[in-house]
Chains A and B, each alone.
Chain A
């Protein structure tokens, strides 16, 4: 059931003299939540920007469904089925939920005319399939939604386009307890539907709630990979703060 969909082999990224990532191996599997943790500057953002095609990797190989692929632009990654939900969500506050979900990919009736009814229907179907919380109407501006609802819309937008890998950058950073919980539930549901989820977060408690695997980065290197059920917060924290850099401790399960 859990197949590797995205595989990075020895990827590195260098910004001038700074080695931001060195020789990272990573597997992202369908139906699984993989958490990416590490202190500030560990290379988490660089890693996802490489996968998204914003800052392509300097070295290393990427395999998607077993095929070697090149991701040099954001368009390349979305064409493969990889969507990234960034921390700032990138929603236009003045537009309603439907308009945001379809922004840049509107359905049209004639080349000139937006097909509002079909878009609204598809939007409702997606939100319902994800059991997305308490949105009163999909015709209200995004500005009127709570932080959790906005996050949910951003995630739903990423999921709607038949994406298979969804990368979430700090989805719960700005949320309260209840909303955080809603978003975590949503993440679990996505994984249950067979999507591959990469979750970046500072909050270990949240991570242990939803993640199947935890990958620890430190100073641009992978210093550990753990099965969430078989490790503890202490162990992960230790890896984040003092992880041995030269040799990797890989506890591989399954």
Chain B
């Protein structure tokens, strides 16, 4: 009797689909997701608003065009490194070598640009110099990745030895002078060039237009396949919201020096890596390996290959970050890659919502997390706080971010969603 009823139920209930959702349903399902602990970027955006309110109330210079532009330049280095960290964390691994690997790239580039005036060796053009620097760190990533996968040594240990060794390599390469000055205009321009306002608006319009076209195209192709689509009003709100956000940012930047070139670089990386993570088989495999290595293996995915490539991405992005940092300082010195660069880059990805346990996170979390770290640091500098207090507060922010993640995960568990 009972089984018969169940059988009927099985027959009757089929997949809820076809017929697009209404806007109301869309909003209701979003609220439901948030309530059951799927917060997305919500906590971090609320956190950023809170940070803005706190610092603005203490120092009216925080929310100014000048400081906004400064902030973009200040966050560029760790954001770039954190993009690579996201991929490593998605696998459930860690890369502790990124700090000094970034410095290795910066030193190699700086030395090649400089050449050797003593023995009449001319400096390289910036393009091959950057290429050689990034190729070198790609090989570092390949090496570390191969050691980790072939000998089954935890990435923590391999990259910890990398942290020590590459620090040594940086010191050896810089040599006695202690500093390598960069004079190449293009390289200095990476972090010090600001786009004229018309160029800023042109890029902004292209971005808005592309966003709208991609969104609408996705909906059309889903519609032609008779799959549920985003309701039109929601779609319009998304596009208008995006346009407003972009325009506001451009407007604010143009009140000061204009959009920093490095800001455009950060967003290009964001789009590129998001595409890689979400739309390509490779990205799908990274998530799969992080979620269930055995399932990935049985699905015929070459787990080792994916892991090695991710460690290469991590090293190359660290190298890019190192070059951006060097560009900002117009030099590389023996302290490059040290300090809290490593920990800030990992913290950025984690604050942004990427799990340390693998399988969950987004590329955008690097940008959002770095924005939080940079804003806190920037704000505290404006207030002239001592470095002791700054460390304590940064630590507290990281802890808060992890707590929010843990609590939302618990609420997911309670609603049977994890």
Contacts and interface: CB of A to CB of B under 8 A. Distances in A.
B6 A104 contact: no
B305 interface: no
Given A108-B281, A144-B417, A93 B291 contact: yes
A113 interface: yes
B138 to A, nearest CB: 20
Contact of A91 (B221, B284, B292): B292
A93 to B, nearest CB: 6
A150 to B, nearest CB: 12
B302 to A, nearest CB: 10
Contacts of B226: 121
B192 interface: no
Nearest to B11: A131
B360 to A, nearest CB: 5
Interface string B6-35: 110011011111000000000000000000
Contact of B15 (A75, A124, A144): A124
B291 A95 contact: yes
B89 to A, nearest CB: 13
B291 A182 contact: no
A117 B222 CA distance: 6
Interface stretch (A20-28, A57-65, A135-143, A226-234): A135-143
Nearest to B416: A144
Interface stretch (B166-174, B293-301, B340-348): B293-301
Contacts of B281: 106, 108, 114
A120 B221 CA distance: 12
A132 B15 CA distance: 8
A113 B226 CA distance: 20
Interface size class of A (residues with CB under 8 A): 35 or more
A127 interface: yes
Contact of A114 (B222, B227, B279, B417): B279
A100 B299 CA distance: 9
Contact of A121 (B13, B225, B301): B225
A88 B294 contact: yes
A104 B300 contact: yes
Contacts of B360: 94
A90 B16 contact: no
Interface in B168-226: 221-222, 225-226
B369 interface: no
Given A92-B359, A93-B291, A104-B299, 13 more contacts: A75-B300, A92-B295, A93-B359, A94-B359, A94-B360, A95-B291, A104-B301, A106-B281, A112-B279, A114-B281, A128-B14, A133-B10, A136-B16
Q: Which 6 A-B pairs rank lowest in CB-CB distance, beginning with the nearest?
A: A104-B299, A94-B291, A92-B291, A94-B359, A90-B295, A103-B299
23 contacts: A75-B300, A92-B287, A93-B291, A94-B360, A95-B284, A95-B288, A100-B295, A104-B301, A112-B280, A114-B280, A117-B222, A117-B225, A120-B222, A124-B227, A131-B11, A133-B13, A137-B16, A137-B17, A143-B418, A181-B3, A181-B7, A181-B10, A185-B10
Interface of B: 3, 6-7, 10-11, 13-17, 221-222, 225-227, 279-281, 284-285, 287-288, 290-292, 294-296, 298-301, 359-360, 416-418
